[in-house]
């Protein structure tokens, strides 16, 4: 004598399947913009003006710094700010070279090594080559 009780399992299974299909349609129907941020572009003139002020301020404060600890802090802060600046396509190599120069200066100041002289010379050459930075 086997008694069958009505069960809701098939109905629950149908609702879960329909819910999953609906979720997949919604997620894959439109392109996902999750994690993508469209950053506004910056004009070359605006970049040049910002970098000119930025580098003038850095040079003045770097020369006025009285000891290596102050210079390290200044270079680190400058490097962090430099890396947050928006860069037009035409100046990406220059911007990267500035970051490499500041990084070498920072490493040289921290380790009391020849990287300081190399970084300062690299920056000096870059500023001479790109005269608008001064």
Classify residue 6: in a domain, yes or no: no
Classify residue 36: in a domain, yes or no: no
DSSP state of 112: T
pLDDT per residue as tens digits for the range 19-43: 999 998 888 887 656 666 666 688 9
pLDDT per residue as tens digits for the range 51-107: 999 999 999 999 999 888 999 999 999 999 999 999 999 999 999 999 999 999 999
Q: Number of folded domains in the chain?
A: 1
pLDDT at 27: 83
Which residue range is the domain that position 97 belongs to? Answer: 44-133
Q: In angstroms, rounded to a whole number, what is the distance separating the alpha carbons of residues 100 and 125? A: 13
pLDDT at 41: 82
Classify residue 21: in a domain, yes or no: no
Classify residue 57: in a domain, yes or no: yes
Classify residue 110: in a domain, yes or no: yes
CA distances from 125 to 30, 75, 119 (A): 50, 18, 10
Classify residue 121: in a domain, yes or no: yes
């Amino acid at each position: 004598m086997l008694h069958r009780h009505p069960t809701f399992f098939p109905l629950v299974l149908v609702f879960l399947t329909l819910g999953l299909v609906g979720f997949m349609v919604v997620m894959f129907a439109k392109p996902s913009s999750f994690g993508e941020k469209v950053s506004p572009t910056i004009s070359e003139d605006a970049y040049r003006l910002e970098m000119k002020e930025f580098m003038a301020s850095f040079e003045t404060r770097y020369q006025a710094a009285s000891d290596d600890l102050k210079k390290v802090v200044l270079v680190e802060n400058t490097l962090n700010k430099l890396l947050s600046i928006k860069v037009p396509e035409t100046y990406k190599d220059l911007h990267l070279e500035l970051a490499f120069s500041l990084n070498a200066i920072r490493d040289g100041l921290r380790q009391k090594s020849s990287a300081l002289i190399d970084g300062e010379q690299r920056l000096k050459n870059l500023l001479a080559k790109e005269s608008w930075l001064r």
